[in-house]
Amino acid sequence: MIVNFKELGGGKKELIESFKQVDALFVPPLLKRIKSNNKNYSIEDYIDKVNTNGDILLYLDNNLIVGFAAVYSNDFLTYTAYVPLLFVIPDHSGKGIATKLLTRIKEIAYTKKMKFIRLNTWESNKNAVNLYIRNGYKVLSKENSNVQLVLTL
C-alpha cells in the first residue's frame, strides 16, 4: 500500500529509521549526500524540506516501510517534476514496488500539471536504469557515471 507521508500525521521517527537502515546501500551513502552542501543538515531537515516542497511516498507492508520515493512537482517554469530519491528495501525488490511508486509519482506530477519527470541515477546501477526505461523514461544524458532520465507526460 502506498501512502503519502503528509497523510500519516506523524511517523517521522519510522521514516528516519528506514533511511538509516538503507543508508549504506546508496552510493554515495544517503546521509553523506544529504549533508554534502551543509554539514549541519540532518535527515530530519531533508524530510521536512521534501515534505514541505514535494511529496514523500511510502510503500507499507504490514505497517513497515519497505519502499519510499520523493518527488518535487513545483517547477512551474519548465513544468518538470524531479525525483531525488526512490528506494525499495532489498528483501522486497522484484515485487513491483518501484513500478508502483513510479506510477504514483506520475499521477502526482500529472495532477500538478507537470509535463516532464526527471531523475538521475548511477550508470553502474543497471537495475535502476532498466527499471526507468521499462517505465517509459528516456536517457537524456550521461556524464561522470551519472545518467539523467526523463519521462514526458
Q: b vs e for 63-93, b when ≥16 Cβ sit within 10 Å of the residue's Cβ?
A: eebbbbbbbbbeeeeeebbbbbbbbbbeeee
Query: Which residues, 6+ apart, have CB-to-CB distance to 109 below 8 Å?
Result: 71, 73, 81, 117, 153
Count of other CB atoms within 10 angstroms of residue 23: 16
pLDDT tens digits for the chain (153 residues)? 898 887 776 667 777 777 777 777 776 777 777 766 667 777 788 888 888 889 999 999 988 888 889 999 999 999 999 999 898 988 899 999 999 999 999 999 999 999 999 999 989 889 999 999 999 999 999 998 899 999 999
Phi, psi of 133 (to 5 degrees): -65, -40
What is this structure's pTM?
Answer: 0.86
pLDDT at 140: 94
Whole-angstrom Cα distance, residue 74 to residue 8? 22
Three-class secondary structure of residue 30 per DSSP: helix
Please say whether the beta carbons of 72 and 53 come within 8 A.
yes
Domains and CATH numbers, the chain: 2-152 (3.40.630.30)
pLDDT for 37: 65
